[in-house]
């Protein structure tokens, strides 16, 4: 009986053991063998290393992966479907865009040279020591064409864009020189406007014109290095019928001791003492000239001229005037001009002998805007 029990228990235990092992074998996942090419690709895909900031890529494309007609990961249009955190021994590090990128700036753009066939030159409308000015046409638009000997002025004008600077449109080659093509301002220069017999010239309009001139100069002086106009005077201030003002003849090279006369009043009437004496000068030389233009605006008279505006006086001689301005401190006589005290103080400060004591041009704008009413009133 004892042996019978032992045999039965052994058989039952064996059956249970066989069933348990079979169930365990069925639950175990089957091992799938990857194709050789796929195994290589899985091992050698791109890996981005977060710690080093490097992108790890295979040194050479794995074999048997490039199929004709289907781009691979290494070919243009290929795509990496996954990344891994461990680099393969076949991988080599290359820098990513985490490294600084040096960008070479494009070459500077030169000013536009116009075709001679596009520009029609008509009658002469003015001129002076630096060239003659003609009325012309460019692509159906009325323009002014200044004939000069070099492209120096064109190179300067091509860098400037401001509402109170005469718009430069390009240059063209002419026989024996160059033409500087700019917008045409129909009314003419401030010098001519001040001599119009029926001119309505209230204080607010005077201040508006002066503020426009100051803004144009402030724009020039704000450049690095500052652009010095060198020849600020009423003949070089253009005015349209809405009393909008634009500076012209910007960037002309001028010898400091050049006392030659130009159209209208001679240049010495507006030149600062340092320019007349041939000393170094800067933006404050324009501030001095601006003060003389302010005198013209307030009085409607030519500087250092006892004749009234209607007489169109010619002013003092160049050399004699230069000596008196530099050595004797001569300045135009404001006299009994109808001029607010603040504006009078601005004028006398701006034509001080010492450039360091003259205000910066942008400091004049708030006062002029205040006198103009702070807004444009049109005509």
Among 76, 9, 11, 81, which Cα is nearest to 45's?
81
Give the Cα separation of 165 and 352 in Å (integer): 26
Give the Cα separation of 40 and 282 in Å (integer): 73
* Residue among 231, 240, 286, 369 flagged as catalytic: 231
Using CB atoms within 10 Å of the CB of residue 286, give its burial: 0 to 12 exposed, 13 to 18 middle, 19+ buried: buried
Tell me which DSSP letter residue 83 carries. -
Please write the tens of the pLDDT for every residue from 162-205: 999 999 999 999 988 899 999 999 899 999 999 999 999 999 99
Please write the tens of the pLDDT for every residue from 105-130: 333 445 668 988 999 999 998 876 56
Give the Cα separation of 98 and 51 in Å (integer): 12
Per the CB < 8 A criterion, the answer to whether 248 and 182 are in contact is yes
Q: Which residue has the tokens 């596009």?
A: 118
Structure pTM? 0.65
Q: Does domain 116-183 have CATH number 3.30.200.20?
A: yes
Which of 21-25, 51-55, 273-277 shows the lowest per-residue confidence on average (mean pLDDT)?
51-55
Give the Cα separation of 268 and 231 in Å (integer): 10
Give the Cα separation of 73 and 104 in Å (integer): 31
Q: If you average pLDDT over residues 355-370, what whole number do you get?
A: 97
Give the Cα separation of 81 and 73 in Å (integer): 9
DSSP per-residue codes, 277-293: TT----HHHHHHHHHHH
Can you give the residue ranges of every domain in the chain?
A: 116-183, 190-371
Average pLDDT, the chain: 75
pLDDT: which is higher, 379 or 370: 370
The CATH number of 190-371 is which of 1.20.58.220, 1.10.1370.40, 3.20.20.10, 1.10.510.10?
1.10.510.10
pLDDT: which is higher, 37 or 336: 336
Q: Is the pLDDT confidence value at 265 over 60?
A: no
Query: Does residue 249 carry a catalytic annotation?
Result: no
User: Is position 146 annotated in a ligand binding site?
Assistant: yes
Give the Cα separation of 169 and 113 in Å (integer): 9
């Amino acid at each position: 009986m004892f042996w019978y029990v032992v045999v039965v228990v052994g058989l039952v235990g064996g059956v249970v053991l066989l069933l348990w092992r079979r169930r365990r074998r069925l639950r175990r996942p089957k091992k799938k063998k990857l194709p050789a090419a796929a195994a290589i690709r899985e091992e050698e895909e791109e890996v981005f290393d977060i710690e080093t900031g490097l992108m790890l890529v295979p040194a050479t494309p794995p074999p048997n992966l490039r199929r004709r007609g289907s781009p691979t990961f290494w070919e243009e249009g290929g795509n990496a479907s996954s990344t891994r955190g461990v680099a393969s021994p076949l991988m080599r590090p290359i820098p990513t865009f985490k490294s600084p990128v040096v960008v070479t700036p494009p070459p500077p753009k030169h000013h536009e040279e116009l075709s001679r066939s596009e520009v029609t030159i008509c009658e002469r409308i003015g001129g002076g020591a630096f060239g003659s000015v003609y009325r012309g046409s460019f692509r159906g638009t009325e323009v002014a064409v200044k004939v000069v000997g070099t492209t120096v002025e064109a190179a300067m004008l091509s860098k400037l864009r401001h509402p109170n600077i005469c718009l430069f449109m390009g240059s063209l080659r002419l026989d024996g020189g160059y033409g500087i093509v700019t917008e045409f301002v129909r009314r003419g220069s401030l010098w001519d406007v001040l001599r119009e017999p029926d001119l309505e010239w209230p204080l607010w309009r005077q201040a508006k014109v002066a503020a426009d001139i100051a803004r144009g100069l402030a724009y020039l002086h704000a450049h690095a290095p500052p652009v010095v106009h060198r020849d600020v005077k009423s003949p070089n201030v253009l005015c349209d019928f809405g009393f909008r003002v634009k500076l012209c003849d910007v960037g002309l090279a001028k010898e400091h001791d050049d006392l030659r006369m130009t159209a209208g009043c001679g240049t010495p009437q507006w030149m600062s003492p340092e320019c007349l004496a041939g000393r170094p000068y800067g933006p404050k030389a324009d501030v001095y000239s601006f003060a003389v233009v302010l005198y013209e605006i307030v009085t409607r008279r030519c500087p250092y001229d006892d004749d009234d505006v209607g007489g169109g006086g010619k002013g003092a001689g160049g050399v004699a005037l230069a000596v008196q301005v530099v050595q004797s401190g001569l300045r135009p006589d404001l006299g009994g001009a109808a001029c607010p005290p603040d504006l009078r103080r601005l004028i006398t400060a701006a034509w001080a002998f010492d450039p360091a004591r003259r205000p910066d041009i942008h400091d004049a704008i708030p006062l002029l805007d205040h006198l103009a009413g702070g807004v444009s009133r049109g005509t």
